[in-house]
């Protein structure tokens, strides 16, 4: 039976832990010659521009012995009106799996419903679970543990934040989210996570309170792709939510700073912090490659 990876809920805590451990092993060069995807073709469907998602998946699939095939809707018959369901049925006859980076989460769900191959969420407007796997891997690398840590997410309660909420519930770390009124994470995702979590998941307004004694401070851009019409409104509301040296002073002395990139330097994060000794931003970016390789090993049989 095929397995999809649409949200973090598609993996158990034990499976997530195994993927993180495997990703760390892959990064260290363990089984470097192993090619579990040899003879397999993996589709990469992009409705949105991409740097890290595209390159990490293409390189990872190649390193696992497979063939990546990157596509966008304008190159397919989707651009001429073919339904997503029919596209899913057709591509399932050629490919061993497909990663989709899309706008509406419902598009991804429709494709997964009609596909007979594993479908991986490379990003939607509601979730970014591949990023969350890389985040978990990066924290484990630097801190040695996940359970019981305090992670502070500061800024817009977007798709990255939604997936981090599910990650906190799965892996038992405490998550404090600081965001202005009207920019909270998805209420249904938040409630679902709280119902299953053994850890604490809190949403508040004060970024300094959220960062207080935090082990990890995380932020993302204030304006996500497709929200450009809200740029000025969001910048005005979020200007006090910048990750800077004053805010980091509230956290633990060995605090780690994360940002899923791309960054708008000088807006949500300062150069001083992003390039400073607390930053794990570029390790985090690299870890997309290793975490996704471990995920594909599990999904593609």
Q: Which residue reads 């359970």 in tokens?
A: 147
Angstrom distance (rounded) from CA 60 to CA 80: 31
For 149-217, the three-class secondary structure string (H helix, E strand, C coil) is CEEEEECCCCHHHHHHHHHHHHHCCEEEEECCCCCCCCHHHHHHHHHHCCCCEEEECCHHHHHCCCCEE
Q: Which residue reads 């989210």 in tokens?
A: 177
- Under DSSP, is residue 80 helix (H, G, I), strand (E, B) or coil? helix
- Half-sphere CA count of 108, side-chain side, radius 13 A: 28
- Under DSSP, is residue 137 helix (H, G, I), strand (E, B) or coil? helix
Which amino acids are annotated catalytic? 101, 128, 131, 220, 260, 288
N-to-C CA span, the chain = 10
């Amino acid at each position: 039976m095929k397995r999809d990876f649409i949200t973090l809920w598609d993996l158990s805590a034990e499976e997530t832990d195994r993927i993180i451990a495997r990703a760390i092993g892959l990064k260290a060069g363990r089984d470097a010659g192993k090619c579990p995807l040899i003879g397999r073709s993996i589709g990469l469907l992009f409705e949105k521009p991409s740097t890290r998602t595209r390159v990490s998946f293409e390189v990872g699939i190649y390193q696992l012995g497979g063939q990546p095939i990157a596509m966008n809707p304008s190159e397919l018959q989707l651009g001429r009106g073919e339904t997503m369901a029919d596209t899913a049925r057709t591509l399932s006859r050629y490919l061993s799996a497909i990663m989709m980076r899309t706008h509406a989460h419902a598009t991804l769900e429709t494709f997964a419903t009609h596909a007979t191959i594993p479908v991986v969420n490379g990003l939607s407007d509601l979730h970014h679970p591949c990023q969350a796997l890389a985040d978990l891997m990066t924290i484990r690398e630097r801190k040695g543990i996940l359970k019981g840590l305090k992670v502070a997410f500061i800024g817009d309660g977007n798709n990255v934040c939604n997936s981090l909420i599910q990650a906190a519930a799965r892996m038992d770390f405490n998550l404090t989210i600081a965001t202005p009124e009207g920019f909270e994470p998805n209420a249904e995702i938040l409630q679902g996570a709280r119902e299953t979590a053994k850890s604490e998941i809190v949403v508040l307004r004060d970024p300094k309170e959220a960062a207080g004694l935090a082990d990890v401070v995380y932020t993302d851009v204030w304006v996500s792709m497709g929200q450009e019409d809200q740029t000025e409104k969001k910048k005005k509301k979020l200007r006090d939510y910048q990750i800077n040296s004053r805010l980091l002073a509230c956290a633990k002395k060995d605090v780690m700073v994360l940002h899923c990139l791309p960054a708008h330097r000088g807006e949500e994060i300062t150069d001083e912090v992003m390039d400073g000794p607390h930053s794990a931003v570029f390790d985090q970016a690299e870890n997309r490659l290793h975490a996704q390789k471990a995920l594909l090993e599990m999904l593609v049989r």
